[in-house]
Chains A and B, each alone.
Chain A
């Protein structure tokens, strides 16, 4: 038995030590550091006090960034469902020979440089960008519309980044639906729309909710789109962390904000498991 055990452990050792040393221990460090004090000289003093958290919740400034992060994440989730369900349904039902190519195209953005995808919206929405240029040219506008550096432009960048995740999740759950269920519904006299509403839609909800969880978690921790496409009033919690840690070198406070973000994500994932487990969804629909 011992002989059997050392082999897999030896094979796992490099990967496990990498993850333990470079991820698990450092994340524990964030928690420890969040209780430390910052001295006026900039050195960090080991301590156990909740001052950093008190500072975060002291006035409305920091909590409002947290609330904005949650709001923008929810908006992104909603828009991704609205924009993603129909294409996923199209891939599922389409009989075209090019289906593989269409799916490959939807996955393509995963590979295209994130920063390029994000900044590309400046070319579209900017004062001299595509939309303003043509609207000015045909005389619909007399001066450029300010479409950049607001929550709308941040959402554009976020949706373009996250929509493929949503589409794939929905598509996978649609593919998993037994086609004979639809045929049965149709043979019993359902219209196409009724069959969709009563059979396809409920059975695809697990995929939708999995996609929602993924998109929410990824949005809540996002740094780049608010940074590049947003104004000062659109910064999210990841931007705050970066500004405190790299900008003002306030490590203890930056750590406390990181713990707040981690706590938010843990609560979301835990709640999802607790109330929206895949089995729960099936039960709820019966």
Chain B
């Protein structure tokens, strides 16, 4: 009897933690359908008014476009560099390997505020103005460690023998990569692209340092809107962001699982 009640307390506690984690987000999504003028309770009905309002807001659409372009540039560059580095770590032995690996993973542990100040200071020393390119290279540094981790994990699972077989049959290094490694690595590459895209889309702290009024991203725009008041538009935008950032990785995870069962 004691045991059962102990376990049900544990279960109840766990449920309460879930409630704590998810109620705020659910409330954002619910309120985004509230037609009332201010983003607050009570609900006075269900409408898509604020989503329509969003679609008409030029500044938000621009920020959305910026975020998409930035995410696309970041994920392509970051994944390309990450694949090369992962190949070096998994396929070769060389002095200082662990040090190099730690260095490449370092951006995860360093606070974004420091990264933000550091890069900006460097740019100032070079006497360059803030630009869209700054956002891209900054986001590449932020996302590179994650891409590296994803691709490395997958690459470890691909047998070296496949590549060696191709090379013994006369393929050069590039052909081997194109015909053997790349197709086997495809799920991880897709995972890396989508993961870095999501991180880029979501990043706020470092981006606040690097963004200018002309190239605001979606989170920076939301941050700016929050300073005025919490308008219902923000809730609607939040709902869209939640759907975007949850749907993309779920889709990636699904693809990775699907591909890895068919390729191995």
Contacts and interface: CB of A to CB of B under 8 A. Distances in A.
Interface of A: 4-5, 7-9, 11-12, 14-16, 18-19, 22-27, 29-30, 33, 83-84, 86-87, 89-90, 93, 105-106, 108-109, 111-117, 119-124, 126, 128-130, 133-134, 159-160, 163-164, 192-193, 217-218, 220-224, 228, 238, 241-242, 245-246, 251, 254-255, 258, 261-262, 265, 269
Interface in B181-226: 198, 201-202, 204-205, 208-209, 219, 222-223, 226
16 contacts: A16-B85, A18-B81, A23-B107, A26-B121, A30-B117, A84-B17, A109-B21, A111-B248, A112-B246, A113-B201, A114-B204, A123-B230, A128-B41, A129-B41, A218-B111, A228-B226
Interface in B155-194: none
A261 B137 CA distance: 24
B144 A245 contact: no
Contacts of A23: 106-107, 110, 115, 118-119, 141
Contacts, number: 235
Contacts of B141: 18-19, 22-23
A23 B107 CA distance: 8
Interface residues of B, number: 82
A93 to B, nearest CB: 8
Report which residue of B81, B110, B118, B222 has the largest number of chain A beta carbons within 10 angstroms of its beta carbon: B118
B11 interface: yes
B96 to A, nearest CB: 10
Interface in B103-136: 103-104, 106-107, 109-122, 124-125
B3 interface: yes
Contacts of A12: 84-85, 88-89, 100
B103 to A, nearest CB: 6
Interface of B: 3, 6, 10-11, 13-14, 17-18, 20-25, 27-28, 31, 38-42, 80-82, 84-85, 87-89, 91-94, 100, 103-104, 106-107, 109-122, 124-125, 137-138, 140-141, 144, 148, 198, 201-202, 204-205, 208-209, 219, 222-223, 226, 230, 234-235, 238, 241-242, 245-246, 248-249
Contact of A16 (B6, B25, B103, B235): B103
B117 A241 contact: yes
A207 to B, nearest CB: 17
B188 to A, nearest CB: 16
Nearest to A86: B13
B24 A245 contact: no
A12 B153 CA distance: 17
A84 B204 CA distance: 26
A242 B113 contact: yes
